[in-house]
Amino acid sequence: MSDSTHEDEESAPERDARADGGATGADDVALDPWGSETIADYRKLFEEFGIEEFESVLPDTPDPHYLMRRGVIFGHREYDAVAEAMRNDEPFAALSGFMPTGDPHIGHKLVFDELIWHQEQGADAFGLIADLEAHSARGLSWDEIDEHARNYLLSLLALGFDPEDGELYRQSDNREVQDLAFELGSKANFSEFEAIYDFGGETNISHLQSVVTQTADILYPQLVDEPKPTVIPVGPDQDPHVRLTRDLAVRTRFFKVTKAFASFELDDDERQLVRAAYDALPAGESDVRCEDAAEWLETYGPVPELADAKPSAIRKLEEAGKEPLRPRVRFFDRNATEEAFEDLIESIEGEKRVFEGHIDTFDLSRAEAEELAREVEVDNGGFGFQQPSSIYHRFMTGLTGGKMSSSVPASHISLLDDPEDGYDKVKAATTGGRETAELQRELGGEADDCPVYELYAYLLAGDDDELTKRVYEECVNGERLCGGCKEQAAELMKEFLEDHQEKREEVEDLLDAADIDLDSDRRGSGGGGH
């Protein structure tokens, strides 16, 4: 997640950006948090990894950030829970981490801005330095880590992060995170790391440990005060960390809450079929029997995606025979202590039935049951974690085209670059322009393939949507030529760097006053990566 929470120079993909927030390109999608794989088709992420389009939650997001409005933030996992908390002025959190492997650059500013915006909307905000990951996965010395960490944090503060209203920490100094990582590690196994990260016999143990630490980072905001919706802004290459953490959050829970209809268990597809049978049968609920539902399902033609579940649903209903079929909510004992299980029984009001390993309630909605289960868990020493949410932003194209890489200085602009150098890099950048000015006026430019246009959309236009639209429309209509466009962008970049570096100097006292140690006395050489 630390790499996840910033766009690393070596992982920025080579792709064709599209104004609609999608991309064209390769058929295969590989997500490697530490590698240099490209992500050529963002649309594949929706299908292959279950990432949802951010457009679906945009109307419900109060005062959305311009990166959301412009489709730069293109996907999410369960961000609706965060948006709901935001709308209702309820507690929620945002966490972003930074692996200090070099200077912060304009790509990292995306995540800085996302974290700061959520803090401004009322989030408990957390910024962390992933020093354990930098040491174990990238082999940096502790002195190098200290230097880079300071630069990241100064830029974060200069852009508006409030350290008095948020928390800054480094992994190696946060004992709560390390203790949580130990507990989470007991819920994971090496075969998962092989499948998710392609770890093998040559992977050093510290690297594996740093991954577990990142899952603890992601859940850490829920240790502060109470479990709550938490969003992690990430690049899509970091989604493996989010998926693993969401799984581990579920595995730590004392109780699993599901909907049920009888004493036996149903999977999701079977449950839909039984629900259809229950709704279709005309008798009162006290007269509906499992065998009646089985008979109805024999003649029911379900939608194709449920066809495979039909035989097993019928079998379970037939085996239950005359047992009444009644909608209920079930608390399934996953990790609960005996005391917690008994506490839950006593806490459930209304009609209930207690079985070995689960409790059925007939008077609570699923949402009410989820809330009760979490309260009982926390009261009995459990974590009560909610699955973390995430949002995904597109990567910036390098100024020379292709990847934005630290090994190609002309491809990126460091937030520490001399403003004149920033100006020169933009002036020398590749564009989506035609071969000649005449063709540009006749055919229009290709803004969707232009790194300079991205600078406007991602950074230089700020909150000014009209400027972004004007640059785009003038380009594709042939009214804007590349020379003048780059000159305007170069001047804006120079102004941004001047302003940012002045603010970095102004916030040095804030960083010095923050409770974070940037002079590590740890021993050890660099790590070894995979």
pLDDT score at 440: 86
Q: What span, in angstroms and rounded, lies between the C-alpha atoms of 93 and 97? A: 14
pLDDT score at 99: 87
- 45: pLDDT strictly greater than 70: no
pLDDT score at 117: 98
Helix axes 239-251 and 190-197, enclosed angle (nearest 10):
150
Q: What span, in angstroms and rounded, lies between the C-alpha atoms of 382 and 405? A: 43
- 242: pLDDT strictly greater than 80: yes
Q: What span, in angstroms and rounded, lies between the C-alpha atoms of 412 and 306? A: 49
pLDDT score at 206: 85
Q: Distances in Å between the alpha carbon of 300 and those of 270, 325, 381?
A: 13, 18, 47
Q: What span, in angstroms and rounded, lies between the C-alpha atoms of 181 and 214? A: 8
- 28: pLDDT strictly greater than 50: no
Span of 6-20, 77-91, 267-281, 373-387 with lowest mean pLDDT: 6-20
The answer to whether 254 and 377 are in contact (CB under 8 A) is yes
Span of 32-46, 232-246, 304-318 with lowest mean pLDDT: 32-46
Q: 3-class SS at 58? A: helix
How would residue 468 be classed by pLDDT, with cut points 50, 70 and 90?
very high
476's enclosing H/E stretch is helix 465-476
Q: Which pTM does this prediction carry?
A: 0.86
pLDDT score at 284: 56
pLDDT score at 528: 54
pLDDT score at 283: 64
Q: What span, in angstroms and rounded, lies between the C-alpha atoms of 436 and 478? A: 11
The reply to whether 9-21+40-255+386-393 and 409-513 are identical in fold is no
The CATH code for residues 9-21+40-255+386-393 is 3.40.50.620
What's the angle, vertex CA 99, arms to CA 519 and CA 406, rounded to 5? 110
CB atoms within 10 A of CB 174: 20
How would residue 247 be classed by pLDDT, with cut points 50, 70 and 90?
very high
Q: What span, in angstroms and rounded, lies between the C-alpha atoms of 324 and 53? A: 41
pLDDT score at 195: 85
pLDDT digits (tens, 9 = 90+) for 102-151: 889 998 999 999 999 999 999 999 999 999 888 887 788 888 899 999 99
**Which tokens hold the place of 3?**
């790499």
pLDDT digits (tens, 9 = 90+) for 367-416: 999 999 999 999 999 999 999 999 999 888 888 887 776 657 778 899 99
The answer to whether 125 and 209 are in contact (CB under 8 A) is no
**Which tokens hold the place of 34?**
């530490």
How would residue 286 be classed by pLDDT, with cut points 50, 70 and 90?
low
**Which tokens hold the place of 70?**
């412009």
Average pLDDT rounded to a whole number, residues 409-429: 93
pLDDT digits (tens, 9 = 90+) for 81-110: 999 999 999 999 999 999 888 889 998 999
The answer to whether 323 and 359 are in contact (CB under 8 A) is no
pLDDT score at 525: 58
Position with higher pLDDT, 140 vs 365: 365
Tell the burial category of 481 from Cβ atoms under 10 Å away from its Cβ (0-12, 13-18, 19+).
middle
Q: What span, in angstroms and rounded, lies between the C-alpha atoms of 450 and 468? A: 13
Q: What span, in angstroms and rounded, lies between the C-alpha atoms of 432 and 423? A: 19
Order of strands, edge to edge, in the sheet holding 389-393? 52-53, 73-77, 389-393, 230-234, 93-98, 124-129, 166-170
How would residue 360 be classed by pLDDT, with cut points 50, 70 and 90?
very high
CB burial string 424-460: b at 16+ within 10 A, e below: bbbbebbbbbbeeeeebeeebbbbbbbbbbbbbbbbb
pLDDT score at 507: 96
Q: Tokens 């923050």 label which residue?
A: 514
pLDDT score at 34: 39
CATH fold group of domain 409-513: Tyrosyl-Transfer RNA Synthetase (1.10.240)
pLDDT score at 328: 95
How would residue 453 be classed by pLDDT, with cut points 50, 70 and 90?
very high
Span of 15-24, 150-159, 275-284 with lowest mean pLDDT: 15-24
Mean pLDDT of the chain: 87
How would residue 36 be classed by pLDDT, with cut points 50, 70 and 90?
very low
pLDDT score at 376: 98
DSSP string of 369-426, one letter each residue: HHHHHHHHHHHTT---PPPPEEEEEPPPPPTTSS---TTSGGG--BTTS-HHHHHHHH
How would residue 304 be classed by pLDDT, with cut points 50, 70 and 90?
confident
Average pLDDT rounded to a whole number, residues 474-484: 93
Q: Tokens 């803004």 label which residue?
A: 447
What's the angle, vertex CA 296, arms to CA 290 and CA 298, rounded to 5? 105
- 203: pLDDT strictly greater than 90: no
Q: What span, in angstroms and rounded, lies between the C-alpha atoms of 530 and 528? A: 6
Q: What span, in angstroms and rounded, lies between the C-alpha atoms of 499 and 25? A: 37
Q: Closest Cα partner for 58 from 86, 39, 23, 19? A: 86
Q: Dihedral, CA atoms, 196, 198, 203, 206, nearest 10 degrees?
A: -20
Domain coordinates in residue numbering, the chain = 9-21+40-255+386-393, 256-379, 409-513
Q: What span, in angstroms and rounded, lies between the C-alpha atoms of 204 and 31? A: 20
